[in-house]
Amino acid sequence: MKEALSVLCLALLVSVSEAAVTKPGIGEFLGCLRSWPSPESPITDDIFTADNTTTFLSFYLAYTKNTRFASPNYQTLMAIVTAKNLSHIQATVVCAKSNGVQIRIRSGGHDYEGLSYISSVPFVILDLFNLRSITVDVPSKQAWVQAGATLGELYTKISEAGETVNKTLEQGGIDVLYKWQLVSSKLPESLYVKAMSQVANGTRSGERTIAVLFYAQFLGGADELVSIMNQSLPELGLKSQDCLEMSWLNSTLFWEDLPVGTPASILLDRPSKPEKFFKSKSDYVKKPIPKEGIEKLWNGMLKINNNTVYMHWNPYGGVMDTIPATATPFPHREGNLFKIQYYTAWFDANATKGSLDMMKELYEVAEPYVSSNPREAFLNYRDIDIGSNPSGETTVDEAEIYGSKYFVGNLKRLMEVKAKYDPENFFKNEQSIPPARVKQ
């Protein structure tokens, strides 16, 4: 009898733990959605569940940018709602909340860690790609952009409203890179010069080395640019032949590495599936990195075998110095020379763990040379390694770790705003801002 009882207990335990991963209230949630009045267009046409695997998967993948997250978690992903109007959004929020379903909102799906479309608790993706209207009002210098619009669509609309000029250049060298740190944040506001160290093939077969490229965008004439650069960074030896003149719209194609002459209509293309696995990390630099530090960073990059590896240095200064750190949630303003993005990409799933580990090592190498207490990070280059909560719960202690890196002194005010508008912390992810008074 005792034996039979313990088997029964075990069976009960198993069924309880299975219930924890079973999607809660999926029927109720879908029923709620389907019965929601949507006079403009029926929401039923825009609900996709795993029953129809091919369509579901193609919707999942269409705005998944990182192959690391290309396999949906069928255990937790209940549905994708491709909202076409505001009532679809209201329905999804209300039905998810009333049925204990988490929501992940996806606009363009560029989140580096996939937080807009993955979760380890039952959830629905509210996909906004259909909501993509753009209105540009030149006299008031304002634009209204719906969340699902792509940057290419926005650039196209803006260019229809006005024209500008762009120049570019390309060169290399550690001395120039060191000097770049001293001048890049002090150049005129019309000039942006970015430095990119990347792993490249050396002259001998199989040898790998670091190449440094400098890319600039200048709003003005080529002669003026050459004159400014030859005063500020003569080590680069810029000549007007290094410059390309093009419309501002075409400069956006240049930044995307598309060959000169690519038609701008390519900006209106929409994606269909992710192309590669990638991982990024970020840092802010307030004092120039000594030459030996640059060499250590380069050696760290060279250890990341077989992958595409680069380190972008984006200059700050200019208008960034004139906006108070407390004016908007984005706090990284005066005092920053530049921001680093470390990036690696690969195509073989077996390389994922090694690539992620090597990026952590590179990040450690950089530590002595970058901001500290907190070690600041750029939210757009989301990095789950700098602190995270589990999908379904948010603790303030953990949020203060990643939140202070992304938002520095603005975190406290953001938590107060969150407490005002979402006191129950319904909208959450692994790196979200918790309401100020919730302390679990």
Ligand X SMILES: Cc1cc2nc3c(=O)[nH]c(=O)nc-3n(C[C@H](O)[C@H](O)[C@H](O)COP(=O)(O)OP(=O)(O)OC[C@H]3O[C@@H](n4cnc5c(N)ncnc54)[C@H](O)[C@@H]3O)c2cc1C
Residues contributing to the site for ligand X (CB under 6 A)? 65, 104-112, 115-116, 128, 147, 380, 429
Cβ–Cβ under 8 Å, residues 69 and 115: no
Closer to ligand X by Cβ: residue 63 or 218: 63
Closer to ligand X by Cβ: residue 226 or 428: 428
Rounded CA separation 353/279 (Å): 11
Min CB(380)–ligand X separation in Å: 4
Closer to ligand X by Cβ: residue 65 or 167: 65
Residues, the chain: 440
Min CB(245)–ligand X separation in Å: 23
Min CB(131)–ligand X separation in Å: 8
Q: Which amino acid is at 129?
A: F
Min CB(192)–ligand X separation in Å: 12
Min CB(354)–ligand X separation in Å: 21
Of 84, 188, 89, the closest CA to residue 129 belongs to: 84
| Pairing of β 338-346 and β 277-285 | antiparallel
Q: Which amino acid is at 395?
A: T
Closer to ligand X by Cβ: residue 66 or 232: 66
Which residue sits closest to ligand X, CB atoms considered?
Answer: 108
Rounded CA separation 41/85 (Å): 8
For residue 311, the cross-strand partners are 197, 342
Min CB(157)–ligand X separation in Å: 17
Min CB(139)–ligand X separation in Å: 27
Handedness of CA 116, 120, 125, 129 (dihedral sign): positive
Closer to ligand X by Cβ: residue 116 or 217: 116
Closer to ligand X by Cβ: residue 103 or 225: 103
Min CB(63)–ligand X separation in Å: 7
DSSP state of 66: B
Cβ–Cβ under 8 Å, residues 416 and 436: yes
Closer to ligand X by Cβ: residue 67 or 232: 67
70-75-80 Cα angle (round to 5): 60
Of 339, 341, 344, the closest CA to residue 281 belongs to: 341
Cβ–Cβ under 8 Å, residues 404 and 397: no
Closer to ligand X by Cβ: residue 109 or 435: 109
Cβ–Cβ under 8 Å, residues 275 and 68: no
87-88-94 Cα angle (round to 5): 85
Most distant pair of Cα atoms in the chain: their distance: 94
The neighbour count for residue 286, using CB atoms within 10 Å, is: 14
Residues 6+ apart with CB under 8 A from 368: 293
The neighbour count for residue 183, using CB atoms within 10 Å, is: 16
Min CB(402)–ligand X separation in Å: 13
Rounded CA separation 375/360 (Å): 14
Min CB(107)–ligand X separation in Å: 3
Helix axes 151-161, 248-255, angle to 10 degrees: 160
Which pair of structure tokens corresponds to residue 199? 């792993």
Closer to ligand X by Cβ: residue 116 or 232: 116
Closer to ligand X by Cβ: residue 108 or 288: 108
Which pair of structure tokens corresponds to residue 93? 């929020």
Closer to ligand X by Cβ: residue 74 or 255: 255
Min CB(433)–ligand X separation in Å: 11
Extended strands (E) in 337-415? 338-346
